[in-house]
Amino acid sequence: MEMKKFITTTIIEFLNENVQKNDIIFVRTKKFNNTGTINKLPYNGIHCWTIYRNDLQKYIDELELWGGKKKDVEIIDSNNYSIFALDYPQTHKYVMGEIDNLPKLEPFDVQKHILKFKKQGKKCMLEYLSDMKYQIILMK
């Protein structure tokens, strides 16, 4: 059984590494509100996530678990934008006032900055859970 899991994981990783630009989408929740944060990010643009197109339902399932609604999910056309990424755990700590170091923008890397979903155990509320490593900012 472990060999089957290894082979399946290896195939999935191979497919993910060979993704084409049209296989990814930029998504956000229209009703997201961070006005209550202590620190504000100085980066203007559209804050969103990058996911594989076939992971959209996984994104929606996780969003709904936290009280979001499918109808509020918006797919953003990234044409005419410069694409950057921020380390999300560091960004979250910064806006919540836990750290003072402003997270630095990184140029978007399709291999590094895509939200990945990992299969969870049978006792979990969600079949898949995202890693939330990088937040994306689309800037004019």
For the chain, domain boundaries:
21-139
Burial class (CB in 10 A: 0-12, 13-18, 19+), 121: exposed
Q: Which residues pair with 118 in a beta bridge?
A: 129
* Residue 108, C-beta contacts closer than 8 angstroms, at least 6 positions apart: 50, 83, 84, 85, 136
73-118 per-position pLDDT tens digit: 999 999 999 999 999 999 999 999 999 999 999 999 998 999 999 9
Q: Which H or E element spans position 110?
A: none
40-78 per-position pLDDT tens digit: 999 999 999 999 999 999 999 999 988 899 999 999 999
pTM of the model: 0.79
